[in-house]
Amino acid sequence: MRWGSWKLKSKETEEVLRQAVHGRERTLGQDHEDTLRSKHWLGCVLYDQNKYSEAEEVFRQAVYGRERTLGQDHKDTLKSKYQLGYTLYEQKKYSEAEEVFRQAVHGRESTLGQDHKDTLKSKYRLGCTLYEQNKYSEAEEVFRQVVRGRERTFGQDYKDTLRSKHWLGYTLYDQKKYSEAEEVFRQVVHGRERTLGQDHEDTLWSKYWLGCTLYDQKKYSETEEVLRQAVHGRERTLGRDHEDTLAAVRLLQQLQLKSPHSYQQTLPRNIPWLAD
């Protein structure tokens, strides 16, 4: 979330908003639109400080109040509902978050349309929530919808399109649909290389998962090439001892055990410690 200059003064802003909520509750009532607007923004500021439990309670109040006064499908109700789902997700309350995101998706589809950015944002979060509950088949279908919608609305190389596609790759991988996952991760790698550069952390993350997908298909020669790129990139940007660099190194070491002869012939000379 981006709250502009508020983020720099979150504690101060929290106090101001608490006073606004209390004052407006006394003078305008709990369900007045200005009271509920203040509650919504208080929830946002609490979320921004990682005070998820408090934010959850405030967002629930905003949702209930807006449902009573504006209706379930009003844009402000759905906005508070989306933020409530986000807050539940951050607390790993995935089942509750799923239900809230489903409501946000249905409401936004009916009022904004399937390809509106807010609808797709809600659907993306629903997909993430399903994935975290190991509901991979459902998550796959949701992510496919998000990818298609974002490609139509924003284009193939838009950052949110590529992020959705990366999660689709995760979902396919965890269902052992390695061939499909490979194709998706290749698209993400190529898109991120074009838009972010070869050494951006997101590009390298997708490249690592492409390597994992190739490895599980026993495409060892291609795996080595991709993982070497991931290791070199992470060394340059994150450092040799970073956990993500070491994760790529460990997979290369596993590859060495699978195919020691071919691997040793092409072992990168500038990473001698891989053979330690």
**What is the full DSSP assignment across 24-64?**
HHHHT-TTSHHHHHHHHHHHHHHHHTT-HHHHHHHHHHHHH
Percent above pLDDT 70 for the chain: 90
Average pLDDT estimate for 4-29? 84
Residue that has been written with the tokens 């924003």 in this structure: 154
Please tell me which residue, 35 or 265, carries the higher pLDDT value: 35
Is residue 249 within 8 Å of residue 231, measured between CB atoms?
Answer: yes
Say what the pLDDT of residue 266 is.
Answer: 45
CA distances from 148 to 71, 115, 145, 154, 168 (A): 30, 9, 5, 10, 11
Structural domains in the chain, sorted by start: 176-276 (1.25.40.10)
Say what the pLDDT of residue 195 is.
Answer: 97
Q: Enumerate long-range contacts of 247-252, CB under 8 Å, 24 or more apart.
A: 247/208, 248/208, 248/211, 249/274, 251/208, 251/211, 251/212, 251/215, 251/223, 251/227, 252/224, 252/227, 252/228
Place 256 in a pLDDT band, splitting at 50, 70 and 90.
confident
C-alpha–C-alpha distance, residues 261 and 276, integer Å: 16
Say what the pLDDT of residue 269 is.
Answer: 38
